[in-house]
Amino acid sequence: MRALASLLVLASIPSIPALAAAQERCTEISIVSPTPRREAARAARSCTGCDDEGRATITYRLDREVPCGRFVDGSPWVAVGDGANLVGLTPQVTDDCGAGTCNGWMVDIASRNQAFDARSSFAAGEAPAIRNPSDAEPFALAPGNAVVKAVSFQDEVVGANCSARDVLGSEPRHCLYFVGALTVLRDPPPDGTGAGYFRPPYVGTERPLIPVSDARLDRLPRLPLEGVTGLPDRDVAEQALCQLPVEHMGTYRQQYFKGYLNVGEARGYHGYVSRELGDWLLRALFEDRTDRMAACLVQRGIDLHHMLLEPVATSWGANGGHGQGRTTWPYLAAALLGRDDWRAAMDAMSPGRFAERSQVYWSPVADPDGARGGVGEVLYGAYPGAGGISMCTVGEYLGRCYPDWPGSCNRVCGDPFGFIDGGSPGGSYQEIFSPAARAFVLTAHLVPDLLAAWPRDDGHPLMIEYTDRWVECGAWTAPDPCDAADPLDPSSPDDCTSGPPGTCVCRPGSGRYADRHCTNADGGSAYKTAFTTEVWSRFRACASDCSCAGMEGLCDPPVSTDPDAGAPPVGSDAAAPGVDAASPTPDGGSPPDGEELEGGCGCRAAGSGAPPWLALAALALLGLRRRR
């Protein structure tokens, strides 16, 4: 009976099922980059310590052996108790990329700055005091730290300004080759490995541990593969989706600091990054996706949501193609995690912090005859009175832009009268912003929970309505009652763009761009892909009522996953409750910033295999059998 009692005591410990695998322990843990697909990146030996295939390896070395593992996205964690020392971090900080600081690192990023590479926008005060930690000069790690390490591109590849065309071509705009993060915990995650948890966000001060089982990944469609051509390689898409999303700097400056391999070798200008990410996002909605691929969609949203919160409080506002493509991720994560508080906090932020809420706007005075489904229209352009950037005044639009487009002006500015698309209608930045948005908007149609959560400004999911119109019609330039030569009526109030559309008064005329109306439908060839075009053509119409194959039941409200409401959620882990200490608060809005797994572990199992409690359990079972 004593043996049976011992067995019952062991069985009563709730963590035993989660610890069925041996606990890994490390003194070193590494992050290995993806292998670059472009021969130019491999042949150029793009970074300090790159191997012959162009892979970069980031290695963290501690002064003692500690529990370690990897989250669902493949990012590493270590559990240090009350603390441990970082005594090695490679590749070392050097000056071999054409700047005084290359391969930099940051801890607990709490601003929109970077201390990774001194070639552009370098904030020296954000760098850790110890340039290269060592046994003689260690860096003290504490629970809650997020140690973000960058590997710089060599200047022979991207030049001293990170934009050389000679090797990679097409102005790559990348200072960083690869970026990874190590999360420092006090204790191992409840499942013992971390594989059942999302990586806590690498920015700010909160490190919530959220179980993957909290995400309703079953609320994503499983679209059929049959008949779809040009599918991106699933493994390449998964690898890209699971990389660290370095997006905390905002818009314009961020183009140089995303990490070339973190964005799947897309050019740094975010119009191109958005285009590629859109393809990979759609690829994750097909029936052959892996669970990890789906989880990485939520992981990216968790990161971006926390970037919006204090102390970082970043903005991805109206700025050509620099700001677009970010809104989908945090709203998708909020929808699938059932985090209405996250969604409400983002809704309360200034629209100017999201390009999809401020580079388009609702105008009740456009389309007064209701030619397209009723009076009013979502128009392209930043309009100050509707949350757009304040510099888009009548003077900016008429004095520096119109009619000599593109001109030396901000080409995202909306029509101050609110009748037609802004900028140069149908071209310029509209032709970048619109096609690259299609995959994100189509995802909202294919994931009804995301569509329901999408922010409404003036009662409209602006980007969703706008993109449908761009694909169907193209530019919107009629009816336009304004005079082409001199559109501003002298009676127009000063600073009229700070009021609602229709405040500015135009001089009557025959219209400014009447010949462009409904031209360039679904245009913008440089920023669209054949795959997104095909998926849109095949699934956009049936997505409206969930009649697409693979969307069965998604238009029905999700079944409650609250354990208190009845049966436990499918796939829930009662031994691993989520710990989410983030407390998002509504933000009155900071203005836009004006800018724009392959895991190498280096781990081993403690001892010679199984943890000690397994041996005790085996002895107890043996004793019980003998007594029988």
How does pLDDT run across 41-70, given as a tens digit for each residue?
A: 999 989 999 999 999 999 999 999 999 999
Kindly state the tokens that stand for 63: 């002064």
For residue 616, how far is the Cα from the chain centroid? 46
How many residues can be counted in the chain? 628
Give the Cα separation of 360 and 366 in Å (integer).
Answer: 13
Give the Cα separation of 425 and 411 in Å (integer).
Answer: 10
For residue 146, how far is the Cα from the chain centroid? 18
The H or E element containing residue 430 is: helix 430-436
Give the Cα separation of 189 and 18 in Å (integer).
Answer: 10
Kindly state the tokens that stand for 285: 């909605």
Segments of 40-109 assigned E as strands? 57-70, 76-79, 84-90, 105-107
pLDDT digits (tens, 9 = 90+) for 305-363: 999 999 999 999 999 899 999 999 999 999 999 999 999 999 999 999 999 999 999 99
Q: What is the DSSP string of 144-173?
A: T-EEEEEEEPPHHHH-TTS---SSS-S---
Mean predicted lDDT score pLDDT of the chain = 87
- For residues 319 and 412, the answer to whether their CB atoms sit within 8 Å is yes
- For residues 455 and 357, the answer to whether their CB atoms sit within 8 Å is yes
Backbone φ, ψ for residue 281 (5° rounding): -60, -50
Q: pTM for the complete prediction?
A: 0.87
- For residues 349 and 590, the answer to whether their CB atoms sit within 8 Å is no
Contacts of 134 (CB under 8 A, 6+ apart): 87, 88
The mean per-residue pLDDT over the stretch 544-552 comes to 97
pLDDT digits (tens, 9 = 90+) for 263-275: 999 999 999 999 9
**Residue 465 scores a pLDDT above 50:** yes
Nearest CA among 395, 433, 394, 398 for reference residue 412? 433
Q: How confident is the model at residue 21 (pLDDT cuts 50, 70, 90)?
A: low
First to last CA, the chain: 10
Q: What is the pLDDT of residue 613?
A: 35
- For residues 196 and 159, the answer to whether their CB atoms sit within 8 Å is no
576 to 164, 191, 443, 474: CA distances (angstroms)? 49, 6, 30, 50
Residue 585 burial (CB count, 10 A): 10
